[in-house]
C-alpha cells in the first residue's frame, strides 16, 4: 500500500467517504435526530455526505438506510412504513432496518432474488432522547456508544433543544470553542459582557488567562483569573470532546444570571452539551443538551425566558444589505456571522498568533486522531469494548476553587 500523506488541517474539514476526515468521523457514533422528531413517516437526511432515510418500523426499531431504492432508485423517503420495515412505493420491495430485502411482489412466486439484495443500512441507537448512528466500517460490530453523563445520569432536569441547522463547515464551529478570547471580544455586546460575571471575568480590557489542556477525551480550555482571596482563583472551563462535542459549564452565570455568589462558591450546576453532526462539507446540525442538577425548579423555563432577550440589538441602516446583519446582541448570531464568513480551513489564508494556541492544540489533536484512524487504530474518543459500561464525563467546572499550580486535574489523568 502507498504510504499515506501527512494529515493537514485542511483534511479535518472534509466529511465525505474516502476523505481522511470522513474516514475519521466514520469511527464514531453521531447524533442524527431527536427521538421525538422521528414520527411515523420516513425522513430524508444527509449525514457525512451520504443521502439516507431514517424511519421507525412498527416495532419501534429505528432504521437508517440508503435514501434511494436499490431497485431503480426511487426515494425511500416516500416509502410505506409497515410490518417488517419500509416498502418502496414503486415496485413494493420491502426492506428491514438492517437493509435486508424481504419481499419483491413483482418477481415470480418462487424467486429467491430478494434474499440476495441487501441495501445500505447503518445501526441506530437511542440514548437520553437522541438517536445516534454509526456510519463506519463493520456496522455489525460497531464500537460502544459512549454513555454520555448528561444523557444517561438519573436525576436533575434534562432538555434537548430543537435541532439547529447551519450552512457552513462544522469544523469552524468546533474550533471556535477552543478560542476563548472571542468570548471577551465578540460576545462583549451580548450575554458574556452584559452582567457582573461577564464584566469581571470576561472583561475586554483584562481578559482571563487560558491554557489548552489535553485530556483523554480531547481538550479542555481552562480560563483563570485571581480569585476573591489570595489562595483562590476564578475558573471557567470548556471541553472539546472527540469527535465533535463541546461542553460548557457557565450557562447559569452567562445566560441566567441567578444566585451569582452561591453559584460561584458551589460551582455551576448546568452541563451544556453540543453535539455537531456534519451533513456535508457545507452544512451541519447542532444537538443541544442541558442537564441541570441545581435547586431551581423551573430552570429551563427561566433559561428560555432569558435567551429570548438575547436577540440582535444592532441598528441596521436601510441600505445595509450585508447577509448576517444584525448580529450583535445574540451570542448565537455573533458566532454564526464570524464562523460562516471564515470559509474552509485549509483554503483560507491565516496569520495565527499566540492567542490561537487553543485552536492550534485542537487542530494538532484532531490531525493525530485522523492519522490514527488511517492507521486502523482507535482514535481519541472511540471506546474500547471493555469500556462500554463506563459513564463518560467531560470537564466544565465554573466557579471559585483553591489556586493550583497544575492547571487542571484532568491533565494528570
Could you list the residues that contact ligand FES (CB under 6 A)?
A: 69, 71-74, 88, 90-93
Q: Which option in ligand FES, Fe ion, none does residue 88 bind, with CB closer than 5 to 8 A by kind?
A: ligand FES
Residues with Cβ < 8 Å from 144, sequence gap 6 or more? 383, 385, 387, 388
**CB of 397 closer than 8 Å to CB of 267:** yes
* In the complex, least distance from residue 187 CB atom to Fe ion, rounded to whole angstroms: 6
Q: Which option in ligand FES, Fe ion, none does residue 93 bind, with CB closer than 5 to 8 A by kind?
A: ligand FES
Nearer to Fe ion by Cβ, of 135 and 245: the residue is 245
Distance (Å, whole) CA 367 – CA 390: 26
* In the complex, least distance from residue 149 CB atom to Fe ion, rounded to whole angstroms: 23
Q: Which option in Fe ion, ligand FES, none does residue 260 bind, with CB closer than 5 to 8 A by kind?
A: none
Distance (Å, whole) CA 15 – CA 20: 8
Residue 164: beta bridge partners? 286
Helix (H, G, I), strand (E, B) or coil at 126: strand
Residue 302: its H or E element: helix 299-309
Nearer to ligand FES by Cβ, of 88 and 366: the residue is 88
What Cα–Cα distance (Å) separates residue 179 from each residue in 63, 222, 273, 314, 403? 38, 11, 17, 24, 23
* In the complex, least distance from residue 41 CB atom to ligand FES, rounded to whole angstroms: 17
What Cα–Cα distance (Å) separates residue 333 from each residue in 117, 312, 336, 410? 47, 7, 5, 32
* In the complex, least distance from residue 337 CB atom to Fe ion, rounded to whole angstroms: 10
Nearer to ligand FES by Cβ, of 117 and 258: the residue is 117
Helices (H) and strands (E) in the chain, counts: 10, 22
Nearer to ligand FES by Cβ, of 105 and 226: the residue is 105
Count CB neighbours of 194 within 10 A: 19
Q: Which residue is nearest to Fe ion (CB)?
A: 335
Q: Which option in Fe ion, ligand FES, none does residue 335 bind, with CB closer than 5 to 8 A by kind?
A: Fe ion
- Of residues 12-31, which lie at the interface with Fe ion (CB under 5 A)? none
What are the backbone angles phi and psi of residue 197, rounded to the nearest 5°?
Answer: -60, -45
Distance of CA 80 to the CA centre of its chain: 31
Helix (H, G, I), strand (E, B) or coil at 398: strand
Nearer to ligand FES by Cβ, of 87 and 272: the residue is 87
Q: Which option in Fe ion, ligand FES, none does residue 74 bind, with CB closer than 5 to 8 A by kind?
A: ligand FES
* In the complex, least distance from residue 244 CB atom to ligand FES, rounded to whole angstroms: 34
Nearer to Fe ion by Cβ, of 30 and 331: the residue is 331
Nearer to ligand FES by Cβ, of 81 and 306: the residue is 81
Q: Which of 170, 335, 359, 395 binds Fe ion (CB under 5 A)?
A: 335
Nearer to ligand FES by Cβ, of 74 and 260: the residue is 74
* In the complex, least distance from residue 103 CB atom to ligand FES, rounded to whole angstroms: 10
Q: Does 179 bind Fe ion (CB under 5 A)?
A: no
Residues with Cβ < 8 Å from 345, sequence gap 6 or more? 9, 10, 12, 13, 169, 171, 172, 175, 363
Count CB neighbours of 342 within 10 A: 16
Task: Kindly give the pairing relationship between strand 50-56 and strand 43-47.
Answer: antiparallel
Nearer to Fe ion by Cβ, of 194 and 335: the residue is 335
- Contact mark string toward Fe ion, 287..326, x via CB under 5 A: ----------------------------------------
**CB of 272 closer than 8 Å to CB of 238:** no
Nearer to ligand FES by Cβ, of 31 and 79: the residue is 79
Q: Which option in ligand FES, Fe ion, none does residue 84 bind, with CB closer than 5 to 8 A by kind?
A: none
Q: Which stretch binds Fe ion (CB under 5 A): 216-224, 283-291, 315-323, 335-343?
A: 335-343
User: Cell digits for 325?
Assistant: 446583519
Q: Which stretch binds Fe ion (CB under 5 A): 27-35, 232-240, 300-308, 333-341?
A: 333-341
* In the complex, least distance from residue 63 CB atom to ligand FES, rounded to whole angstroms: 16
Where helices occur in 236-280 by DSSP H, the ranges are: 251, 260-266
Q: Which option in ligand FES, Fe ion, none does residue 71 bind, with CB closer than 5 to 8 A by kind?
A: ligand FES
Residues with Cβ < 8 Å from 413, sequence gap 6 or more? 215, 216
* Residues near Fe ion, by CB under 5 A: 335
Amino acid at each position: 500500500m502507498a504510504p499515506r500523506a501527512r494529515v493537514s488541517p485542511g483534511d479535518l474539514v472534509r466529511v465525505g467517504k474516502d476523505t481522511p476526515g470522513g474516514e475519521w468521523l466514520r469511527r464514531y457514533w453521531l447524533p442524527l435526530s431527536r427521538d421525538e422528531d422521528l414520527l411515523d413517516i420516513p425522513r430524508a437526511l444527509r449525514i457525512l455526505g451520504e443521502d439516507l432515510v431514517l424511519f421507525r418500523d412498527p416495532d419501534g426499531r429505528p432504521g437508517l438506510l440508503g435514501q434511494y431504492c436499490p431497485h431503480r432508485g426511487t426515494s425511500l423517503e416516500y416509502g410505506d412504513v409497515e410490518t417488517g420495515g419500509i416498502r418502496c412505493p414503486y415496485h413494493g420491495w420491502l426492506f428491514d432496518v438492517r437493509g435486508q430485502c424481504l419481499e419483491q411482489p413483482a418477481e415470480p412466486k418462487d424467486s429467491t432474488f430478494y434474499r440476495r439484495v441487501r441495501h445500505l443500512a447503518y445501526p441506530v441507537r437511542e440514548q437520553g432522547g437522541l438517536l445516534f448512528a454509526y456510519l463506519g466500517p463493520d456496522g455489525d460490530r460497531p464500537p460502544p456508544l459512549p454513555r454520555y453523563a448528561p444523557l444517561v445520569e438519573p436525576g436533575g432536569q434534562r432538555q434537548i433543544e430543537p435541532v439547529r441547522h447551519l450552512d457552513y463547515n462544522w469544523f469552524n464551529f468546533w474550533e471556535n470553542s477552543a478560542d476563548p478570547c472571542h468570548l471577551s471580544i465578540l460576545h462583549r455586546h451580548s450575554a458574556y459582557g452584559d452582567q457582573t460575571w461577564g464584566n469581571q471575568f470576561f472583561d475586554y480590557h483584562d481578559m482571563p488567562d487560558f491554557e489548552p489542556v489535553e485530556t483523554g477525551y480531547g481538550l479542555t480550555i481552562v480560563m483563570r483569573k485571581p480569585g476573591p482571596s489570595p489562595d483562590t482563583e476564578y475558573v471557567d472551563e470548556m471541553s472539546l470532546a472527540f469527535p465533535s462535542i463541546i461542553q460548557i459549564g457557565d450557562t447559569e452565570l452567562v445566560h441566567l444570571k441567578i444566585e451569582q455568589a452561591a453559584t460561584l462558591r458551589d460551582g455551576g450546576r448546568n452541563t451544556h452539551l453540543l453535539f455537531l453532526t456534519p451533513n456535508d462539507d457545507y452544512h451541519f446540525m447542532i444537538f443541544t443538551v442541558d442537564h441541570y442538577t441545581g435547586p431551581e425548579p423551573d430552570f429551563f423555563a427561566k433559561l428560555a425566558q432569558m435567551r429570548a432577550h438575547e436577540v440582535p440589538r444592532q441598528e441596521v441602516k436601510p441600505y445595509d444589505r450585508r447577509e448576517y446583519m444584525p448580529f450583535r446582541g445574540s451570542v448565537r448570531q455573533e458566532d454564526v456571522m464570524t464562523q460562516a464568513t471564515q470559509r474552509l480551513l485549509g483554503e483560507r489564508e491565516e496569520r495565527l498568533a499566540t492567542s490561537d494556541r487553543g485552536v492550534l492544540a485542537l487542530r494538532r489533536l484532531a490531525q493525530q486522531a485522523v492519522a490514527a484512524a488511517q492507521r486502523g487504530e482507535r482514535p481519541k474518543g472511540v471506546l474500547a469494548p471493555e469500556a462500554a459500561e463506563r459513564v463518560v464525563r467531560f470537564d466544565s467546572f465554573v466557579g471559585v476553587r483553591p489556586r493550583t499550580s497544575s492547571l487542571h486535574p484532568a491533565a494528570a489523568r
